[in-house]
Structure 1
Amino acid sequence: MEGGWPLEGGVLLCLIVSLLLPGRGEAFTINCSGFDQYGVDPAAFQAVFDRKAFRPVINNSIPTHVNISFTLSAILEVNAQLQLLTSFLWMNLMWDNPLISWNPEECISLKRLTVSAENLWIPDIFILESMDVDRAPPGLTAFVNSEGRMKYDRPVRVTSICNLDIFYFPFDQQNCTLTFSSFLYTVDSMLLGMDKEVWEITDTSRNLIQTQGEWELLGINKATPKMLVGSNLYDQITFYVAIRRRPRLYVINLLVPSGFLVVIDALSFYLPAESETRAPFKMTLLLGYNVFLLMMNDLLPASGTPLISVYFALCLSLMVVSLLETIFITYLLHLATTQPPPMPRWLHSLLLYWASPRTCCPTVPQKGNKGLGPTTTHLPGVKEPVELVGKVAGPREAELTGSPESRAQEEQEAQRQPLVDLWMQFSHMMDTLLFRLYLLFMATSVVTVIILWNT
């Protein structure tokens, strides 16, 4: 008939009207004739199975209440570079299906049975932070009781976005979120709730968690925000999962070896400054520390700047400064033994002050030592050269000692020896001073890093 409804349109209209009319769900009451000792006849639930594409309600103005809980059974991976958390969950959904009910006394005392999830309406609950396709295994079933209470459990491998803060690595704690919401249903059609308390979820997850590796579960909290998309308002439940890294692996493999190398570098200051082995020893330590950093690079986060990287850079800088100090002292000693320049008065006074802080009376310079200031005989801890202690050689002794050139060379050496001793004393005092400054800076830096880690 022209201008009328086509046959398919009329059937669809009748189906929609039948779904909207209140009281129509009473036609789907389960008939106990399909229950016997051998099982349940699928035909008893066929009317319910035929409506699996629609939300099971008697009145569409009443929203479906879905209770959500989960069990965190494994923390598989935390990718700091991609800011991803990979975990394994057992998701639990519970809701009421008013179209399913039977009398257990009339149905061989059967109060609960399992139904294939493919034949039922399942709430479209998903995790907003998920960045992977849901890979739940097929063939899952749901539990249903005589009052129409549905319970659906399924395992989920979740790869979710997590804002990771690795500054305190390896003593860091992360707080990741798992937000459960619906794709299609607004608050007018679906409301979310909790079947368990948060502390029950936390305790169950701690008892059942399978991975005892790098991460441990600290606790789980929740919030119930609403998400507004355009003019549509969706219900949500957000779980805050707090996890902490177990630092033992990194302390043993990173911090302890690095600390040992720095301590050995500090102890190398006790090698004699005149020894030619101090500088090569420090260079060997510096090379070994660089090799250690290259080998341990895979254990460090690939993104960001954690505090441990600052600690390693600080240790490397200390070792470089230690080597530079050794080079400086070696240069001073070489200068003192080859061509010592005249020591300025202010430097000699400073040396005299550090050697004997209680000295208050200035010394009188002697002849032949005009540019030198007080002689080394007035400096504590400096022995008088042997050449100045002996008597002046007589004519007979001069003939025995050699030519006038050799005597002049010996006199020149005798006059130069006090200056050499002064520069040697100055070099040793600078070595001690720089070593103490090195220890002070190292202790201050290490304590600062430890305090930052503890906060």
Structure 2
Amino acid sequence: MERGWSTRRGVFLCLAVSLLPPGRANTFAINCSGFHQHGVDPAAFQAIFNQKAFRPVTNYTIPTQVNISFTLSAILDVDAQLQLLTSFLWLNMVWDNSFISWDPKECGHVNKFTVTAENLWLPDIFIVESMNVDQTPEGLSAFVTNDGHVVYSKPMRVTSICSLDIFYFPFDEQNCTLTFSSFIYTVDSMLLGMDKEVWEITDTSQDIVRTQGEWELLGISKATPRMFVGSSLYDQIMFYVAIRRRPSLYVINLLVPSGFLVAIDALSFYLPAESGNRAPFKITLLLGYNVFLLLMKDLLPASGTPLISVYFALCLSLMVLSLLETVFITYLLHLATTQPPPMPRWLHSLLLLCTCPRKCCPMAPHKGNQGLGLTPAQLPGLKEPVELVGKAPGPGEAALTGVSGGTGAQREQEAQEQRRVELWVEFSHMMDTLLFRLYLLFLASSILTVIGLWNT
């Protein structure tokens, strides 16, 4: 019984071997006679198409070499909040199919034609960072040569994870990674290589995406580390895609209007504080700046704290500080014209240091206007000392009072009050000067920072 079964099994094996297409060593030789007259005969390739479920090698100890390259044709979106890069690329894969072989002389000198991709074995190459399912269009074809060389290209819309650093927005540069690997075949079954050099991939991609979108492609580099998953070792190729944002849109729509508003607020220091027009003007500017920020919030990143947000916060803080200083100065001038309080000694010393830092200014108060070298004409918007404090009594009034020393004491008191007025007015002018210089320093540093970031 066992001998009969062995005999039948041997007969079936011989029959199966005899049905295989005749060919050269380890290949399925395709009989393509008549192709030049009647076109390609599908029956000649049917035996090969039936093998598409298996890796196309005759010796399974030899891994299949798959060479890949891609062309980055568009950078569609960079989502800073979700940390995602959406790009469109064409993936090219090249490998050898040991089952395909024919003689071009017998086939009308045909050495290459296209075959529908669904009839061939395709390598399971995927992008590790991809966050979406590969939706390859149907009906794609691959080029097949007479020696079994297969060239297959497919378009891919890839949404991949990318660690984005938006601190220097809108002058930021990002470096995203695209890792190509197989999720089934280990290094014992598949090895990955390069179909093109990296500089060729970079040049082709830059020529295509040069004038498209918000982002500019800087360059592409690669690395070839291998990845362990448990005890299995997988081959992979990592491409580092460096991109840079084009900042023109954000400079024109964000930085320039903000700079103009701050500059106008700085020029408002030329309005006399005692006139009462400066505070309403600054309030209007502050409201306008808040409206500007509300309208432009869609252009700013939704997550993180970029440098431009810090800049806007500083502009807003400076404008609020300017408004508070204006209110304080207006209060000081009003107080100085009604009932000027004595100035503290430390504040008087600071005022003397700021007004005459290169002179040896004594700490004690001076008589008249000698302490600061001021005259009533140098106090814009203020009335004459006699009008502020009260008119000095004439000789006739002094005679009527009968007090000979009263006039001298009253004049001394009026002179002291006038000195207080002059000190507080000078202090208000000093605060205006310091804040105005702070505005100029902030504007200059902002312009230099923008120029430096844009050039680098």
**Same-fold call, TM cutoff 0.5:** yes
Matches of 2:172 and 2:36, distance apart in 1 = 59
In the alignment, which residue of structure 2 is the partner of 1:368?
A: none
In the alignment, which residue of structure 2 is the partner of 1:101?
A: 101
Does structure 1 conserve the Cα–Cα contact (< 8 Å) formed by 2:210 and 2:216?
no
Unpaired segments of 5 or more residues in structure 1? 365-371, 400-406
In the alignment, which residue of structure 2 is the partner of 1:76?
A: 76
Q: Which region of structure 1 is more displaced relative to structure 2, 118-127 or 432-441?
A: 432-441
Matches of 1:150 and 1:65, distance apart in 2 = 11
Matches of 1:343 and 1:45, distance apart in 2 = 104
Change (3 A) 1:289 1:165: same
Q: AA paired with 1:375?
A: G
In the alignment, which residue of structure 2 is the partner of 1:433?
A: 434
In the TM superposition, what is the alpha-carbon distance from 1:425 to its structure 2 partner?
3.0
Deviation track 1:345-390 (CA, whole Å, cap 9, x = no partner) reads 55556545654557658699xxxxxxx75223554122395749x9
In the TM superposition, what is the alpha-carbon distance from 1:249 to its structure 2 partner?
0.5
Q: 3-state SS of the aligned residue for 2:275?
A: coil
Q: AA paired with 1:231?
A: S
In the TM superposition, what is the alpha-carbon distance from 1:36 to its structure 2 partner?
2.6
Residues 122-133 of structure 1 aligned to structure 2 (within 5 Å): 122-133=122-133
Matches of 2:16 and 2:211, distance apart in 1 = 50
Residues 382-393 of structure 1 aligned to structure 2 (within 5 Å): 382-383=375-376, 387=386, 393=394
Does structure 2 conserve the Cα–Cα contact (< 8 Å) formed by 1:322 and 1:438?
no
Change (3 A) 1:236 1:355: closer
Matches of 1:437 and 1:152, distance apart in 2 = 64
In the alignment, which residue of structure 1 is the partner of 2:381?
A: none
Does structure 2 conserve the Cα–Cα contact (< 8 Å) formed by 1:348 and 1:373?
no
Q: AA paired with 1:331?
A: Y
Identical columns (%): 72
In the alignment, which residue of structure 2 is the partner of 1:158?
A: 158
Matches of 2:240 and 2:51, distance apart in 1 = 36
Does structure 2 conserve the Cα–Cα contact (< 8 Å) formed by 1:34 and 1:43?
no
Does structure 1 conserve the Cα–Cα contact (< 8 Å) formed by 2:89 and 2:155?
yes
The reply on whether 1:269 has 2:262 as its aligned counterpart is no
In the TM superposition, what is the alpha-carbon distance from 1:84 to its structure 2 partner?
0.9
Q: AA paired with 1:50?
A: N
Q: AA paired with 1:266?
A: A
Q: 3-state SS of the aligned residue for 1:36?
A: helix
In the alignment, which residue of structure 2 is the partner of 1:222?
A: 222
Does structure 2 conserve the Cα–Cα contact (< 8 Å) formed by 1:34 and 1:44?
no
In the alignment, which residue of structure 1 is the partner of 2:425?
A: 424
Matches of 1:90 and 1:449, distance apart in 2 = 37
The reply on whether 1:376 has 2:369 as its aligned counterpart is yes
Unpaired segments of 5 or more residues in structure 2? 378-383, 401-406
Q: 3-state SS of the aligned residue for 1:260?
A: helix
In the alignment, which residue of structure 2 is the partner of 1:323?
A: 323
Q: AA paired with 1:200?
A: E
In the TM superposition, what is the alpha-carbon distance from 1:338 to its structure 2 partner?
1.4
Q: 3-state SS of the aligned residue for 1:37?
A: helix
Matches of 1:257 and 1:301, distance apart in 2 = 18
In the TM superposition, what is the alpha-carbon distance from 1:294 to its structure 2 partner?
0.9
Matches of 2:281 and 2:115, distance apart in 1 = 75
In the TM superposition, what is the alpha-carbon distance from 1:88 to its structure 2 partner?
0.8
In the TM superposition, what is the alpha-carbon distance from 1:153 to its structure 2 partner?
0.8
In the alignment, which residue of structure 1 is the partner of 2:313?
A: 313
Matches of 2:369 and 2:113, distance apart in 1 = 104
Matches of 1:250 and 1:16, distance apart in 2 = 71
Q: Which region of structure 1 is more displaced relative to structure 2, 328-337 or 207-216?
A: 207-216
In the TM superposition, what is the alpha-carbon distance from 1:332 to its structure 2 partner?
0.8
Change (3 A) 1:438 1:325: farther
Matches of 1:109 and 1:259, distance apart in 2 = 71
In the alignment, which residue of structure 2 is the partner of 1:167?
A: 167
Change (3 A) 1:355 1:223: closer
Q: AA paired with 1:330?
A: T
Matches of 2:395 and 2:261, distance apart in 1 = 59
Change (3 A) 1:351 1:15: farther
Q: AA paired with 1:253?
A: N
Change (3 A) 1:386 1:57: closer
In the alignment, which residue of structure 1 is the partner of 2:177?
A: 177
In the TM superposition, what is the alpha-carbon distance from 1:54 to its structure 2 partner?
0.6
Does structure 2 conserve the Cα–Cα contact (< 8 Å) formed by 1:25 and 1:57?
no
In the TM superposition, what is the alpha-carbon distance from 1:135 to its structure 2 partner?
1.2
Deviation track 1:221-269 (CA, whole Å, cap 9, x = no partner) reads 1111111111111111111111111111001011111111111111111
In the alignment, which residue of structure 2 is the partner of 1:55?
A: 55
In the alignment, which residue of structure 1 is the partner of 2:404?
A: none
In the alignment, which residue of structure 1 is the partner of 2:396?
A: 395
In the alignment, which residue of structure 2 is the partner of 1:286?
A: 286
Q: 3-state SS of the aligned residue for 2:286?
A: helix
Q: Which region of structure 1 is more displaced relative to structure 2, 131-140 or 352-361?
A: 352-361
Matches of 1:78 and 1:363, distance apart in 2 = 63
In the TM superposition, what is the alpha-carbon distance from 1:271 to its structure 2 partner?
1.0
Across the two proteins, how many residue pairs are aligned to each other?
431
Q: AA paired with 2:373?
A: P
Matches of 2:52 and 2:335, distance apart in 1 = 95
Q: AA paired with 2:162?
A: C
Does structure 2 conserve the Cα–Cα contact (< 8 Å) formed by 1:74 and 1:210?
no
Matches of 1:15 and 1:188, distance apart in 2 = 33
Q: 3-state SS of the aligned residue for 1:310?
A: helix
In the TM superposition, what is the alpha-carbon distance from 1:46 to its structure 2 partner?
0.8
